[in-house]
Structure 1
């Protein structure tokens, strides 16, 4: 599948040029419009519509800061206008690395309003990942906190922005150094609100423009960029909120990183705001912090990964927190042990919802009124009637219902290719547009599915997906060993941990501390650092000469018993 330099034209005129994106075929786009999935409205119109509908209702709670819908809309317009005044234009990309905060929400919405495209990075990313994103997206702005968790993000941003191939400025949440832009100043409404809004309305993005870039959890090294359009992501948000029963009474706790797709829009922050509810932002999913916020703000809905849920259950034991307002606890990011899901419902209260999905599109979930057999025994069914699922064997032949195979999918919010990745797209997508998820599943009658494993080589550390290939490539580069394998091992806290297995060729084997120090010095995100090092004389091989990771995992599991 080759990339093209156009989008699908909608009824109100042509979209902005979108080099290296892959559009939906015209017949599919027409079908999704006819079904009402694509609303043909840019997402930037949301804040003003929300303000008109909900006015003085509380939209965001961030510590001592509380913003109404009207105040949020004013700040969004102020920031959107200020970004334009700084020379950013519709279609320009910016990399956003901010912690959970009201400023993050306002910035994303301001990008939707102005047509500037945010690339959503994580606060855990360091030079290794951020420099790649700046280059790949040709970003013109890098948005960071001044410091976060004792790390100087501003100093790092200054260095990598200066090394970027094009002009890239730094925008700072907090105390900005000379030469950097101050986010607080750009967010200040000031006079001229009506005129600013009119100017933005006159040059609004097209519904088929790229609205944001999400990051893949892919297996082939550094993350791919997933281009989500205003049309497809708007449907993603609206439909998932509808399925999850969000409304004006919803109080959603954003505890996991807001840059994650599930927390941002599945239904998450945007689904809550679109439903007229309230979003409560906390800086981390640390159990005491999160549960205190649930009790203080009357939180009704939360989304967590199983590793975090387990910590919350332990913290909630003994009734130390009033969690009586909880309605729905969404568990996703990795397969959930049914016993843990039951404990979550019993200890935290509210119904459990399993969520299976990906930043590449497809969302499946159990419904709030599903029977226990489905809630605890499956990962749900697709949220859209036009989500297509195909389960195939290793030769792409469909398997019988109930048999295990790789899941392929396509639909109204599953893009047809990664950004600037034609070679990878040829492997990740079939010629007729099916996305290869790499997950092994079984389909049940009624469309529910159970995830059995994965064909992709990913290590799922507390919901963060680590590419085994990326860790191996870094070990070859930084440690100087050719015979190396990265494998997941069970971990009580994070579900899986990164284990690096190597066979040194004559030289003395490095220590785990040495490996981790070299990775960190290279600017690799902390969650990717190996947490266990195993040294073998030889790495076992498959009959075709590849490293046999299954044999390695089995051997290590036996040795740990």
Structure 2
């Protein structure tokens, strides 16, 4: 068993097994079963590369054998920072087979985040592309490896430079040398939380709980072997990975189309070429698609479902999906820690447009409570708490934080403010935590503030959200300067040079002489946000 992992209490685990939630299979076994059922059907399309289920399973076997020969073993942590490409799926399943744990990093993460992930997880390996989006990941890997002694292997998809080429790792498997695979109750991977305090926490997901999440997503979203899912959001995000996403589509026996680009210019031709039936977007991207389709008169007759999630989708924009794109909108509200909510495909239009869905499992438990953890009346807003067969019971190696994030009876404090309709649908009002949701990318204010405070020209800093028509929220940094006021552009350059992901760099910077305070002497971020509102209205 992985140390630092908080398992479900045995009485709950037994209940979930008895009720058939947890099937007792691993991801490695799942892929083998699908290869037998759908061997010659296309599992994955990445550029010009097409892989059947049988071919994908065989490549996973060969990569698992090569990774084992490299020295990677069960419970070893491996950071994966690959874009939407076939190698991402093959590497993930190869590690699943070994019982090694992928640690999912996003393409936009830079040295600050990757070094932290590597240190905290004690990762032994790091899988990267050579270049992507104009960025050379090999240089990043050199910098991180120099700082993290445990990081023994750098494996590169593409031109490897001084490191190991991923293609050279594949080898014919020797059954006598491979260890027994993991148990279904073992942790399968570590995902990253949005994080409201400092750098991301790590979320341990087991084979049992995550495969159940896939199964329920497939059932609710109506996927079948005829489904074709287009992945345009970064594959490492929980949403395009499992809701139903890449893994859910493979569970259903459908076809996954991987795209590195998300713009209409790239995505619309892929939808037409491969007869895509379902895809998933965040609200800013959905608006871009809607505007492009309306301006061009684009028709996408194969597209049956457009999922929108990651942040709240405005009702006005939601109402445009069916008239403009001719498909059903499915709102998705979920979290990497577990709970996933969907509007149903046959829901009335007012439910689809005005709510963020209802829990996908009958075993999901949801509470809306006040500041004292007392349940509020139905329809009133409060803090959203949840527990269930695929919602974690604790973050990895985070005992102190877990005491704050989970109730004594195992409910996860999501940090969301929401209300419930009489039909059990959630209406999400916002966040209680000090976190900014920038178009689906979560920015922890404390992390950015700590970086700002390292600048010699910054005496104090506070990061707050500001409304944005397309992204939902953008960030504004209020800075009390230390001496002469530095240039805003210089502050942003300083943050990038510290290895901060670009989406975390403040969109706006305001200099002030002091911060407004609350009655107990804390910085009043509410007052700072109100200052922004006043400035915009002048």
Pair in the same fold by TM > 0.5? yes
2:164 is aligned to: 181
2:24 is aligned to: 40
Deviation of 1:149 after TM superposition, in Å, equals: 1.4
1:283–1:467 CA distance, 2 compared to 1 (3 A): same
1:543 is aligned to: 519
Q: Which moved more, 1:535-544 or 1:100-109?
A: 535-544
Deviation of 1:199 after TM superposition, in Å, equals: 5.7
Q: Which of 14, 19, 27 does residue 11 from structure 2 map onto? A: 27
Is residue 457–residue 486 contact of structure 2 (8 Å, CA) maintained in 1? no
2:361 is aligned to: 384
1:122 is aligned to: 106
2:331 is aligned to: 354
Question: 1:478 & 1:125 partners in 2: Cα distance?
Answer: 21
Q: Which runs of 5+ in 1 are unaligned?
A: 1-16
Is residue 299–residue 325 contact of structure 2 (8 Å, CA) maintained in 1? no
The SS at the match of 1:384 is coil
Matching of residues 57-68 of structure 1 within 5 Å: 57-68=41-52
1:37–1:552 CA distance, 2 compared to 1 (3 A): same
Deviation of 1:92 after TM superposition, in Å, equals: 0.5
Is residue 84–residue 235 contact of structure 2 (8 Å, CA) maintained in 1? yes
Confirm or deny that 1:279 pairs with 2:256: yes
Confirm or deny that 1:534 pairs with 2:517: no
Question: 2:433 & 2:451 partners in 1: Cα distance?
Answer: 19
2:208 is aligned to: 231
Q: Which moved more, 1:309-318 or 1:298-307?
A: 309-318
Is residue 228–residue 415 contact of structure 1 (8 Å, CA) maintained in 2? yes
Is residue 119–residue 212 contact of structure 1 (8 Å, CA) maintained in 2? yes
Confirm or deny that 1:51 pairs with 2:35: yes
The SS at the match of 2:486 is coil
2:435 is aligned to: 458
Question: 2:301 & 2:464 partners in 1: Cα distance?
Answer: 41
Confirm or deny that 1:150 pairs with 2:134: yes
Runs of 4+ in 1 over 6 A off after TM superposition: none
Confirm or deny that 1:98 pairs with 2:82: yes
2:531 is aligned to: 555
The SS at the match of 2:319 is helix
Confirm or deny that 1:296 pairs with 2:273: yes
Deviation of 1:480 after TM superposition, in Å, equals: 4.9
Confirm or deny that 1:334 pairs with 2:311: yes
Question: 2:61 & 2:286 partners in 1: Cα distance?
Answer: 37
Q: Which of 393, 412, 415 does residue 392 from structure 2 map onto? A: 415
Deviation of 1:318 after TM superposition, in Å, equals: 4.2
Question: 2:389 & 2:430 partners in 1: Cα distance?
Answer: 25
Q: Which runs of 5+ in 2 are unaligned?
A: none
Q: Which of 492, 502, 505 does residue 516 from structure 1 map onto? A: 492
The SS at the match of 2:454 is helix
1:3 is aligned to: none
Matching of residues 81-96 of structure 1 within 5 Å: 81-96=65-80
Deviation of 1:346 after TM superposition, in Å, equals: 1.6
TM-score of the aligned structures, taking structure 2 as reference length? 0.97
Deviation of 1:444 after TM superposition, in Å, equals: 1.5
Deviation of 1:319 after TM superposition, in Å, equals: 4.6
Question: 1:492 & 1:442 partners in 2: Cα distance?
Answer: 23
Is residue 457–residue 485 contact of structure 2 (8 Å, CA) maintained in 1? no
Deviation of 1:477 after TM superposition, in Å, equals: 1.8
Deviation of 1:103 after TM superposition, in Å, equals: 0.7
1:177–1:296 CA distance, 2 compared to 1 (3 A): same
The SS at the match of 1:331 is strand
Q: Which of 407, 414, 419 does residue 430 from structure 1 map onto? A: 407
TM-score of the aligned structures, taking structure 1 as reference length? 0.94
Deviation of 1:414 after TM superposition, in Å, equals: 0.6
1:173-210 Cα shifts (integer Å, max 9, x gaps): 101123x22112224xx6x55x54x765x601011111
The SS at the match of 2:427 is strand
Is residue 62–residue 101 contact of structure 1 (8 Å, CA) maintained in 2? yes
Deviation of 1:143 after TM superposition, in Å, equals: 0.6
Confirm or deny that 1:78 pairs with 2:62: yes
Is residue 499–residue 533 contact of structure 1 (8 Å, CA) maintained in 2? yes
Q: Which moved more, 1:268-277 or 1:314-323?
A: 314-323
Deviation of 1:330 after TM superposition, in Å, equals: 0.6
Deviation of 1:373 after TM superposition, in Å, equals: 1.6
The SS at the match of 2:194 is coil
